[in-house]
């Protein structure tokens, strides 16, 4: 199984400031035939199912504000919220879909400082 | 509009078999590239992927649970069913179903609201 490790486990950021979450996979999730990283980011608010924010490491879903961005390749990835808003308080998960079993990181809780 | 909804028992006894149904609308599991999977989340814990079934009936399972899981589809009813045998209290969790579009590389883009299953005698 590919193990996904996120850091930090939690972070508190002031409104309008940048939040950065890291995700590391135990092996590369870059598919060489199409040069795509099979890495997704999800946002989960309390009492709700997760929502897909980003796939292919950096492609935002249509509904996602552009303050959210994904970057990285191979085994190291980052989710950045450029200017934290109150509605961004949530737990964020990275997930690899390079191969089954699909695996998730342990989650990063983002709060307002 | 794409929707998915999980249904099944909220309480099962240890050793019993859990059967969950995902009923969806707004897409077809006979369309090339479409898949539906199951994910669970124990209270306060992280997400765990369980199984996936694709439009071509390809089935994938979590290796750690493979002996206990079966995923099937009924395309005519727009349903995917997951069975989990020999339930244990550690299997208590919210169980979600979600759609994926595999060739497009879009995983788990629509989710159901989830159903909380408690395993207790």
Query: What pLDDT is recorded for position B104?
Result: 75
Query: What pLDDT is recorded for position A39?
Result: 97
As a whole number of angstroms, the distance between CA B120 and CA A44 comes to 27
Question: Within a 10 A sphere around the Cβ of A54, how many other Cβ atoms?
Answer: 22
Answer for the pair B50, B30: CB distance below 8 angstroms, yes or no: no
Answer for the pair B106, B100: CB distance below 8 angstroms, yes or no: yes
Query: What pLDDT is recorded for position B102?
Result: 85
Query: What pLDDT is recorded for position B112?
Result: 98
What b/e string do you get for B19-57 counting C-beta neighbours within 10 Å, with b at 16 or more?
A: ebbbbbeebebeeeebbbbbbbbeeeebbbbbbbbbbee
Query: What pLDDT is recorded for position A9?
Result: 98
The number of CA neighbours under 13 Å toward the Cβ of B26 is 13
Question: Within a 10 A sphere around the Cβ of B102, how many other Cβ atoms?
Answer: 16
As a whole number of angstroms, the distance between CA B45 and CA B59 comes to 26
B12-28 pLDDT, tens digit per residue, is: 999 999 999 999 999 99
A5, closest residue in chain B (CA to CA): B46
A63-102 pLDDT, tens digit per residue, is: 999 999 999 999 999 999 999 999 999 999 999 999 999 9
Q: Are B107 and A51 within 8 A, CB to CB?
A: no
Answer for the pair A6, A105: CB distance below 8 angstroms, yes or no: yes
How distant is the Cα of A76 from the closest Cα of chain B, in angstroms? Answer: 19
Q: Which residues in B have their CB inside 8 Å of a CB on A?
A: 37, 46-49, 52, 60-64, 96, 98, 100, 105-109, 111-114
The helices-and-strands tally (H runs, E runs) of chain B is: 0, 11
As a whole number of angstroms, the distance between CA B51 and CA A79 comes to 26
As a whole number of angstroms, the distance between CA B26 and CA B78 comes to 10
B40-51 pLDDT, tens digit per residue, is: 999 999 999 999
Q: Are B48 and A100 within 8 A, CB to CB?
A: no
Query: What pLDDT is recorded for position B103?
Result: 75
How distant is the Cα of B76 from the closest Cα of chain A, in angstroms? Answer: 26
B76-107 pLDDT, tens digit per residue, is: 999 999 999 999 999 999 999 999 998 778 89
Test the A interface: residue of B49, B54, B66, B102 with most A CBs within 10 Å: B49
Question: Within a 10 A sphere around the Cβ of B81, how many other Cβ atoms?
Answer: 19
Answer for the pair A79, A54: CB distance below 8 angstroms, yes or no: yes
| DSSP 8-state code for residue B39 | E
Where does the pLDDT of residue B52 fall: very low under 50, low under 70, confident under 90, or very high at 90 and above?
very high
Q: What is the arithmetic mean of pLDDT over A9-30?
A: 98
% of chain A exceeding 90 in pLDDT: 99
Answer for the pair B89, B119: CB distance below 8 angstroms, yes or no: yes
């Amino acid at each position: 199984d590919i193990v996904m490790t996120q850091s930090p486990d939690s972070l508190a950021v002031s409104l309008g400031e940048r939040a950065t979450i890291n995700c590391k996979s135990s092996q590369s999730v870059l598919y060489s035939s199409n040069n795509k990283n099979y890495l997704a980011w999800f946002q989960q608010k309390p009492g709700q199912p997760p929502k897909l924010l980003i796939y292919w490491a950096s492609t935002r879903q249509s509904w996602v504000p552009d303050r959210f961005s994904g970057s990285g390749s191979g085994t190291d990835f980052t989710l950045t919220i450029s200017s934290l808003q109150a509605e961004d308080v949530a737990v964020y998960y990275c997930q690899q879909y390079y191969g089954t079993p699909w695996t998730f990181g342990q989650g990063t809780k983002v709060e307002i400082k | 509009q794409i929707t998915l909804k999980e249904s099944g028992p909220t309480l099962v006894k240890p050793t019993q078999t859990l059967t969950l149904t995902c009923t969806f609308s707004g897409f077809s599991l006979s369309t090339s590239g479409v898949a539906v999977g199951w994910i669970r989340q124990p209270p306060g814990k992280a997400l765990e992927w369980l199984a996936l079934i694709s439009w071509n009936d390809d089935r994938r399972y979590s290796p750690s649970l493979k002996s206990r899981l079966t995923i099937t589809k009924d395309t005519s009813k727009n349903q995917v069913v997951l069975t989990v045998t020999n339930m244990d209290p550690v299997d208590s969790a919210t169980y979600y179903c979600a759609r994926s579009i595999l060739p497009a590389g879009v995983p788990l883009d629509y989710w159901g609201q989830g159903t909380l299953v408690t395993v207790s005698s």
